[in-house]
Amino acid sequence: MIRKGLAGGSYKPLTPEAISKINETALQIIEEIGCEVNSDLALSSLEKAGAIVDKKKRRGRLPRERALELIGKAPSEVTLCGRDEKHDIYLGGNRVYTGTGGTALYIYEPDTGQKRQATMDDLKRITRLVDKLDNIHLYLLPTYPNELPFEQVDVNRFFAGLDNTTKHIMGGVYTPDGMQQVIRMAEIVAGSAEALRERPVISIIACNISPFIIDGEYGDMVVAIARSGIPLVCPAEPLCGATSPVTLAGNLVVQTVDSLMGVILAQAVNPGTPAIFGSVATSTDLRDLKYIAGSVEMGLLNAAGAQMAQFYGLPFYATGGMTDSKVLDAQSGYESAITNLLCALAGANFIHDSAGLMEFALTVCYEKYVIDNEILGMVMRAVEGIRVDDETLAYDLIKEVGPGGNFITAKHTRRFMRREHYHPVLSDRNSREDWEARGGKSSWEKASEVVRAILDGQTSGLPEEVRSRVLSEIKGIVD
């Protein structure tokens, strides 16, 4: 049984008053301080849409009414399609989905205890692995192929995704030309340009820089993505004490402004652009200013971000599920579990980075995808909550069984045992004797076996004629 798109929202770190105060402060910043916009295209688009622009300072501000009007043009629901319809996901409301994230540079190998540079081959293999992990619903391209020339990276990353899984592919792009090639590739895969807009099998991420900067190249890309009609993710990554106030409330304000500015820019360019409000907000290690990926505060910030997205009626891209551990140890389990759980219970629509990432998001690990898939299965069961009705209360059955009886042979038990309880694929529930008899394996060793079985199994490649069309039309793909 696969649990996805279930309604979260039982966990609310922000009160309604807190949400209102964060909103007020964010709108005040958008109105009075504004953003530095280093893209001419973005700046002129904002100006045309009613922004007050100071060309010398490259600063754009928006009256709050105008800002809210533009935010209101963004669809409250965005459908991200899989190449196979069963993988379609419907972002919006408080429905919860999970996915991978990146972009990591290294692979950690638990059997040798070493890390190495990630290659194209890793990207393909990780795609094939995630394709078969049911609790990971969307595939965000997780690694950077170090051996490829920079200008070939975009097409090769997206091709590795599209050619190895039927789940939706989301990713960042590095060059404007690469982005155009990627969209063309997706059009071929979808069948036509119209078919891609109808069923977007890809979506593209373009970050804003906290605090309050729309970058030159990324600003241009947001404009281009908005014009293309492809779903766009607008995340911001404020870091407590470094690029935002150290307080969580102050961080939330910066994240809200920066992400809203991305949404506003997309609506200024092309009203109705499917734009996803995104957060990568987290803490900073104030001893050496490192980015922290596994803090409980990251869980709180992204859960609160979900509440802000719900407040604005925007679909939400959250960040959770990572660890700063260098190995697959207790830290890697509890950090991933806690941040994923907080986001999911808050009803974060799409928890990105939810599997595979460790060591400040620099590194991924095949085995960790399998371990996190298990965590996410448990998390989604928690999101599902407890169904209470006559059938589940089971009065009639209790009456029939009576004092001292048992429920092992009841039909009711068989009817509900599979769907009421999460059935782990990795957790060991054998007695010590049985566990020892089966080799006394740790969770990562069992995860390793799952990785091998999946990589030795069936692939979800593109249909041959589509594949050869992509290879002949799109230049630079290393097959």
CA–CA separation, 108 vs 116, rounded Å? Answer: 7
> 149 vs 404, which CB is nearer to another protein?
404
Helices of type H across 346-463: 366-384, 390-393, 395-401, 411-420, 432-437, 443-455
Return the SS3 of 368. helix
Residue in 32, 111, 390, 406 binding another protein, rule: CB under 8 A: 406
Residue 154: CB partners within 8 Å, gap ≥ 6?
Answer: 173, 174, 175, 178, 179, 181, 182
Shortest CB 200 distance to another protein, Å: 33
Shortest CB 458 distance to another protein, Å: 20
> 36 vs 428, which CB is nearer to another protein?
428
Residue in 56, 411, 432, 475 binding another protein, rule: CB under 8 A: 411
- Restricting to residues 365-404, which ones interact with another protein according to CB under 8 A? 404
Shortest CB 2 distance to another protein, Å: 16
Q: What are phi and psi of 465, to 5 degrees?
A: -70, -35
Q: Specify the stretch interacting with another protein by CB under 8 A; choose among 115-123, 164-172, 314-322, 408-416.
A: 408-416
Residue in 76, 79, 119, 413 binding another protein, rule: CB under 8 A: 413
Q: Specify the stretch interacting with another protein by CB under 8 A; choose among 22-30, 41-49, 58-66, 411-419.
A: 411-419
Residue in 2, 296, 417, 453 binding another protein, rule: CB under 8 A: 417
Residue in 55, 116, 387, 415 binding another protein, rule: CB under 8 A: 415
Residue 387: CB atoms within 10 Å: 11
Check residue 453 for interaction with another protein (CB under 8 A). Answer: no
Residue 16: CB partners within 8 Å, gap ≥ 6?
Answer: none
> 105 vs 401, which CB is nearer to another protein?
401
> 388 vs 408, which CB is nearer to another protein?
408
CA distances from 303 to 205, 344, 392 (A): 20, 8, 30
Residue in 408, 432, 458, 475 binding another protein, rule: CB under 8 A: 408
Shortest CB 425 distance to another protein, Å: 10
CA–CA separation, 399 vs 402, rounded Å? Answer: 5
Tokens of 316: 């939400």
- Restricting to residues 210-239, which ones interact with another protein according to CB under 8 A? none
Q: Specify the stretch interacting with another protein by CB under 8 A; choose among 171-179, 192-200, 414-422, 450-458.
A: 414-422
- HSE, side-chain direction, 13 A CA sphere, residue 41: 16
CA distances from 288 to 241, 291, 301, 477 (A): 12, 9, 21, 40
- Chain contacts with another protein (rule: CB under 8 A): 404, 406, 408-411, 413-415, 417
